[in-house]
Amino acid sequence: MHALVTGAAGFIGSHLTDSLLADGHRVTAIDSYTDYYDVGIKRRNADSFRDHPQCTMLEADLLEVDLGELLGPIDVVFHQAGQPGVRLSWGEGFSVYNDLNVLTTQRLLEASRTTGIDRFVYASSSSVYGNAARYPTTETDLPQPMSPYGVTKLAGEHLCVLYARQWGVPTVALRYFTVYGPRQRPDMAFNRLARAALTGEPFPLYGTGDQIRDFTYVDDIVEANKSAALVDLEPGTVMNIAGGGAARLGDLIELAGELAGQAVVLDRQPVAPGDVARTGGTIERAVDLLGWKPATDVTDGLRAEIDWMRVILG
């Protein structure tokens, strides 16, 4: 397989690139190194594969690069790139989310239509559900995003389904549920929680801590992506990729303290606009179609992230 990984220097993209190379595949890795967070972190993420003999690392903007040329030799596209985060997607920030989450996806799909690929795997998000009518949420439940970010991820999904139906582009969209683990972005809750647990710095808790999330370890996300690239799927398939069980944020704060050996100090903040009270998804479709299920529970996963943070902190 010759894979294209977009957003390859990011949290999930870097893990996916490492895993594909370890499996013996050839990878073209592309990242524009946007400044949503410290670019130096992304460059360190790419250190493990930048000079790998089976990897071509490109620093380029998907809105500007010649996608026909880029996709010419590619068998599978893993589209991980995009502007993440709920809080900055409001107001003037929305134009960036539209460019990086919607227009970029459309350009890649259009190029895939004309160049021909075996599979287009799109990184979607549980944010498309918003405050769902029931839990666990199934793929047939009505998406009702609670943030502009969620709207852009849903738009990308709809584009994948549209290009599959109209042009036969072999797309599959994976709805990730709160991914965590080593290399997690510094703005994400578990990264900040691991740092706070080890340093004694206050952890910003938005709301009461009663939020419930379905947390999914990054290695499980990687395995779902690889399975989605290789198994026979109907073009336009959409499926949840979730941790298999939901947990209360307050309980996980206590767990982090136990794993780190000291209680976490809290900096209580109001609920952030666009944050939902609960996420949780059924994974029957992923089990049936991909033969996939999560292998890492939240205790082991959080321990791995705290261990990684210890190394980062020195």
Global pTM reads: 0.96
Predicted pLDDT at 305: 98
> Which pLDDT belongs to residue 245?
83
Note the residue count of the chain. 314
pLDDT at residue 28, rounded to an integer: 98
Question: How far apart are the C-alpha atoms of 10 and 227, rounded to whole Å?
Answer: 20
Mind giving me the DSSP string for the chain? -EEEEETTTSHHHHHHHHHHHHTT-EEEEEE---TTS-HHHHHHHGGGTTT-TTEEEEE--TTTS-HHHHHTT-SEEEE--S---SGGGSGGGHHHHIIIIIIHHHHHHHHHHHH--SEEEEEEEGGGT-S-SSSSBPTTSPP--SSHHHHHHHHHHHHHHHHHHHH---EEEEEE--EESTT--TTSHHHHHHHHHHH-PPEEEESSS--EEE-EEHHHHHHHHHHHHHS---TTEEEEE--SSEEEHHHHHHHHHHHHTSPPPEEEEPPPTT--SB--B--HHHHHHH-------HHHHHHHHHHHHHHHH-
Predicted local distance difference test score (pLDDT) of residue 109: 98
pLDDT at 145: 96
Mean pLDDT of each 10-residue bin along the chain, 314 residues long: 98 98 98 96 96 98 97 98 94 96 98 95 96 91 96 98 98 97 96 97 93 95 98 98 92 97 95 85 97 96 98 94
Look-up of token digits 């780190």: 260
Provide the pLDDT for residue 32: 97
What's the angle, vertex CA 238, arms to CA 237 and CA 241, rounded to 5?
Answer: 130
Two tokens at 246?
Answer: 């939901």
Which are the catalytic amino acids? Answer: 149
Position 277 scores a pLDDT of 85
CA atoms in the 13 A half-sphere facing the CB of 159: 24
**Do the strands 237-241 and 216-217 form a parallel or antiparallel pair, or are they unpaired?**
unpaired
Instruction: Check residue 244 and give its pLDDT.
Output: 82
Domains of the chain (ranges, CATH numbers): 2-180+217-243+282-294 (3.40.50.720)
